[in-house]
Amino acid sequence: MQLQTQTRPKVISVTVLEDRIDAASAIQFKEKMRDLTKDGPARVVLDLARVQFLDSSGLGAIVAVKKLLGPDRMLELSGLTPTVEKVFRLTRMDSIFTIHPSVEAAVSHAASA
């Protein structure tokens, strides 16, 4: 599970460099995210633009990361591909995340906030 981070003053973005987060990789994803976001800015943007496939295990791991960040930090999402977007919509998890069209949009949104 390859993740690439970029830290800015008020936001850290994490780009998933894999084409799937599934049952075979969900635990590793969750652990890496926990390590990468342990300290740092309050806003975390998870960029899923390269992720073509997300199953319920992957979705559960993303929700778990949001919970790990606690109430004072925010997990936002960007770049949902059509299939991934549908998983969020069908499970109504799209209502608990701020979803940006791209990581650039997410970062500029964070900068102006």
- Binding stretches for other proteins (CB under 8 A): 20, 22-24, 52-53, 55-57, 59-61, 63-64, 66-67, 70-71, 82-83, 86-87, 90-93, 95-96
CA distance 33 to 20: 15
Q: Are 20 and 53 in contact (CB under 8 A)?
A: yes
- Comparing CB distances to other proteins, the nearer of 5 and 25 is 25
CB of 67 to other proteins, least distance (A): 6
The tokens for 65 are 């990361």
CB of 54 to other proteins, least distance (A): 8
- Comparing CB distances to other proteins, the nearer of 8 and 25 is 25
- Comparing CB distances to other proteins, the nearer of 8 and 22 is 22
- Comparing CB distances to other proteins, the nearer of 24 and 111 is 24
CB of 58 to other proteins, least distance (A): 10
